[in-house]
A and B are shown apart, each in its own frame.
Chain A
Amino acid sequence: MSFQQKSRLAGLVGLVGFAIVWELASRLVGDYWVPGIAQVFARLFKDLVEGRLLVDVAATTQLLLAGTAIGTACGCALACLLRLSQRVDSLMQPLITALMSVPKLGLVPLLVLWFGTGWAPKVMLVALTVLFIVFSLTYSGLATVDPRLTMTARVLGASPLQLTRSIVIPSVLPFVFTGLQVALPWAVSAALVAEYLAAKAGVGHGIEQARQMSDSVGVYCGIVLATVLVLVCNAALAAVRRLTVKSPF
């Protein structure tokens, strides 16, 4: 058996081991602390059948998509804007560093204060979270756009628009995707926090509700759902990336 195969087998053994430890813990410390695996999945199944699961997942996903779209667009635009001028860029550096040192999730109270508990602050939170990550990665990515390519294109008479379309965008796209991949777990985190504090539906809302009723099975279900959400979105993102980005990055 090659090392690769052994490695994969070991990974599986690890997961199985984890499941075993979970079950044992459940037997040892009781249902309140660690409900059994069967219980959790039974509840998940029940929620699925009753429709509640899909409602929650749909709400959170909507939130994620909206926030991510806005955040990505703004982050990208901001990165491009700053990269236009070296002077503007170095001018803004400390401001950006200072803004980045405020945890975006710490802005929740402010957003709730300003926009209430509706849909807006939640989307804004996710958008802000995604914005800074995508901005940061696209910004450093733009620095690597081969200046010779742009120069050649300009010499050949390309207009700024053509330049953007044929050189800048293909070069930047990989970084935007990387930014998205990094931002994804954080976006989900942000969505969850937003839902804890101000929501009537969604995975986060479900977890918080379960906690308030001391329903550990519910809490575990929520965690599993959130994790699955992250994994699914990751896979989707990777697929989209494979289809759209043709460069060898």
Chain B
Amino acid sequence: MSRVWVDRTALGGVLLLAWEIASRMLGPYWISSPLLVLERMWVMAGNGDLWFHGRFTLAEAFGGFVVGAVPGCVTAMLLRRHPLVRSAFLGIAAIGYAIPKTALVPLFILWLGVGPGAKVALVASAIFFIVFYSTWHGVEAVDNKLLLSARVLGASERQLLRLVVWPSVVPYVFGGLRVAIPYAIAGAIVGEIISSNRGIGYLAQYGAMDFDTTLVFVALVSVMCVVLSVGAVLSLIQRRLLRWQATPSQGKPAPIV
């Protein structure tokens, strides 16, 4: 193991130890402890509770993601050759982007009730803009010389779209997806915290209401694990998908809120 990782593991160990000690001294009521959290996670994983709630969160995140990402991407691609319609759309989109998405949560709840619908809507509304703008940047960046040369080689309009435009845009779309997926999970959690009776966000909220600090930490650690693993999977996919690129592509994940 390289020196850096030894240091990091040491740091992690020290922090966890400090947490445990503080917990012993001040009592686990307010801050819980690493051991308690691990133990509870183990129990909940065992009796299926963790998966039960996790399933809802993931479904909402994924559902919202698809409902938002697909129209976002398609819209940007469709508007490629219609500059005036695009300007009209961008005007509205700017306002849509400025609306704080959490401001829409009560509206969605009003429309769709406290079930998963509202969470999916919340996630979709955020993801739509992220994916739209990323795809849009990709479309703008398509190299015209490549298009021209492909045209001289005999490509039809549809072939140009499929064989030149789309592959050019993919790195940007992927970058957008990399940013969007953690946001989707975050959005689902937030929706659940505001109002839900299922899901990891719900667990956090319930734990807080019930003064069950351990449960709150379990929820937070679970989210962290999910986001980190999704990030790792995406990195792998990116390396495979975009191996034709000379330099590391776009897609540095933005900070998650």
Residues of A within 8 A of B (CB): 3, 6-8, 10-15, 17-18, 33, 87, 90-95, 97-98, 100-110, 112-114, 129, 132-133, 135-136, 182, 185-186, 188-190, 192-193, 196-197, 203-204, 207-208, 210-211, 214, 216, 219-220, 222-223, 226-227, 230-231, 234
Contact = CB atoms under 8 A, between A and B. Distances in A.
Q: Which of A109, A132, A203, A220 has most chain B Cβ within 10 Å?
A: A109
B111 A33 contact: yes
A35 to B, nearest CB: 11
B11 interface: yes
Nearest to B98: A230
B46 interface: no
Given A7-B84, A103-B223, A109-B193, A207 B103 contact: yes
Contact of A214 (B90, B110, B219): B110
Contacts of A190: 102, 257
Contacts of A182: 254
B87 A8 contact: yes
B242 interface: no
B194 A210 contact: no
Nearest to B111: A33
Nearest to B226: A101
B205 interface: yes
Given A216-B110, A219-B107, A106 B193 contact: yes
B98 A106 contact: no
29 contacts: A10-B84, A10-B87, A11-B87, A13-B88, A14-B92, A92-B11, A93-B8, A95-B11, A95-B15, A97-B228, A101-B231, A101-B256, A103-B257, A106-B201, A106-B223, A107-B220, A109-B193, A109-B216, A110-B204, A110-B208, A113-B207, A185-B98, A192-B102, A193-B102, A203-B103, A208-B106, A211-B109, A226-B99, A227-B100
B255 A133 contact: yes
- Secondary structure at chain B's binding surface: helix, strand, loop or mixed? helix
A133 B98 contact: no
Given A110-B213, A208-B106, 9 more contacts: A11-B87, A91-B11, A95-B8, A102-B223, A102-B227, A109-B193, A132-B257, A211-B107, A216-B110
B220 A102 contact: yes
B99 A101 contact: no
Interface string B105-143: 111011100000000000000000000000000000000
B21 interface: no
Contacts of B194: 193, 196-197
Nearest to A225: B103
A88 B208 CA distance: 34
A93 B4 CA distance: 10
Interface stretch (B35-43, B154-162, B169-177, B183-191): B183-191
Contacts of A100: 255-256
